[in-house]
A and B are shown apart, each in its own frame.
Chain A
């Protein structure tokens, strides 16, 4: 299996622009997680989905952030408008709830907002 795929790997954008991060989970996994990692705040869970349904979005920082999972093989995290403080590495992870507790992480998207 290819593992969790994230795109783009790096994104540099200007403040105010819309940013869309993409994730393809491992085939057959039924949970998907979006995390953000910064030096100041460490690793934070933003939102997670079970069977494509958002279960807990209490970690989403504010209304500028939104996440969707239109089907089992694709999810997006959108920031509109972006701000410099959104600069971070964003990880997507997937998990098969019925088999193990292990979350498989993607390689991350490094976002820089100037």
Chain B
């Protein structure tokens, strides 16, 4: 079963508009973490934002915010005031704890965002 689901393979947004990238997750753990990474066409992976399962406030980092809805198991990324440089692949990821005590990191399949001038 997919642990991280990103249902939007591709998205378009007009420059300066806001965009929401969807992410739902599946875990039975009470303690877990959710991440978003950006991968531009150059290939590197860039960390954007982190949300802990016990964090009551939605995480924000500059123009990025994470809309965390725990009951719905969703962790959508909101990018405000889109810029051309935001065009990239975006991955949602989860860190959950195994019964062995080690951590498991799972990535979604990604959403390709294209910002239009």
Binding site for B on A (CB under 8 A): 33, 42-45, 48, 55-56, 58, 89, 91, 93, 100-108
B105-A33 in contact (CB<8A): yes
Does residue B12 face the partner (Cβ distance < 8 Å to A)?
Answer: no
A106: nearest chain-B partner, CB-CB:
B44
Q: Quick one: CB contact mask for B14-39 with A, threshold 8 Å, 1 for yes?
A: 00000000000000000001010100
What count of chain B residues pass the 8 Å CB interface test?
24
Does residue B107 face the partner (Cβ distance < 8 Å to A)?
Answer: yes
A108-B44 in contact (CB<8A): yes
Interface residues of chain B: helix, strand, loop or mixed (majority): strand
Binding site for A on B (CB under 8 A): 33, 35, 37, 43-47, 50, 52, 91, 93, 95, 98, 100, 102-110
Contact pick for B44, options A56, A102, A105, CB 8 Å:
A105
- The total of Cβ contacts below 8 Å across the A-B interface reads 46
The answer for the CA separation of A105 and B106 in the assembled complex, in Å, is 15
The answer for the CA separation of A108 and B37 in the assembled complex, in Å, is 15
Instruction: List 15 A-B pairs, Cβ < 8 Å.
Output: A33-B105, A43-B45, A43-B93, A44-B107, A45-B105, A45-B106, A55-B102, A56-B100, A91-B45, A101-B52, A101-B95, A102-B47, A102-B50, A105-B37, A108-B43
The answer for the CA separation of A106 and B109 in the assembled complex, in Å, is 20
Question: In the complex, what residues of A have CB within 8 A of residue B109's CB?
Answer: 42
